[in-house]
Amino acid sequence: MQDSPAADLDAIATRVVDAVLRDEPTSAAAALLLLRQYVATGDDRVRDALGLALAHAVEASAAESSVVDRAAWLAVFAEAMPIADDPRIADAVAALAGMLSAAWPARDGLRDGMASVDACLQASAVATLDLVPAAIDELERVVGGTYRPGIGLVDPASKEARGEDQVRAASALLTAFELTGRLPYSMLAEELMQIARRTLSRDADFATCCAMARAFGRLAALHAAADYRAAAVIADGADYRGDALRILQSQAPHLSAASTADAALYGVALREVMSLR
């Protein structure tokens, strides 16, 4: 990272803006970075690039073949809804949420199920979708079928507890906690992130490391709340903000070689972590 996180974020945003203006394909992570950069800075160039990215994505997102990619776009559109003056954004939220939830129970629960549950829960917080009960049912179905105490979530096909699965599930569990207030969800998310920290190798891919930093940042935000600390059973000596920062620092040397999509994901994670106190 540079001397100033703001300088890192500006550099990444410039890279993403330039890519959008060159008509390069835009990832959901890139659109999310532009959205948050615009909210934070009000920069006109970022706004123009964000408008182009969202307009193109509204047309293309429904055709995404990957459930994970559809879920990522749903989360972006849901976050854009309160500030976007375009009814197509709300229509895209409803369409993507409908497609994702229609596939439950997901065949690959630890990948597609967790990604779609997380996105549908995020969208339910801003749109009238009536999906929370079904999403919670899918979440509990997947967790109930794969969780092994002390091991984590075990993939039925490989019989392995993969680190990236723990991170993806932790994110969905944290979103479920935010909507329901059910402490077992956030406490299991914390357990899964501790397992992920042990099981992910030092050469874990760049995007997974960024997702891991984001999840640790969300746990750090919970631990910073006195009412949460009083109610939950939390790990002794946990420093999740420090964990998130260390992960991002370890990936900073690879940032220039990362794809624009991965660089944007790094920027999203960096902004989230630096907002913590």
pLDDT tens digits, one per residue of 176-194? 999 999 999 999 999 999 9
pLDDT digit string (tens) for 120-172?
Answer: 999 999 888 899 999 999 999 999 999 999 999 999 999 999 999 999 999 99
Contacts of 192 (CB under 8 A, 6+ apart): 152, 153, 166, 167, 169, 170, 173
Residue 17 pLDDT greater than 60, yes or no: yes
- Write down the residue that tokens 């229509």 correspond to: 91
What interhelical angle do 44-60 and 28-41 show, nearest 10? 150
Whether cis (ω within 30° of 0) applies to the bond prior to 105 is yes
pLDDT digit string (tens) for 223-239?
Answer: 999 999 999 888 778 89
d(CA 268, CA 82): 19
Give me the residues paired with residue 153 across strands: 147
- Determine the pLDDT at residue 3: 55
d(CA 203, CA 185): 29
Cβ burial 177-196 (10 Å sphere, 16+ → b, else e): beeeeeeebbbbbbbbbbbb
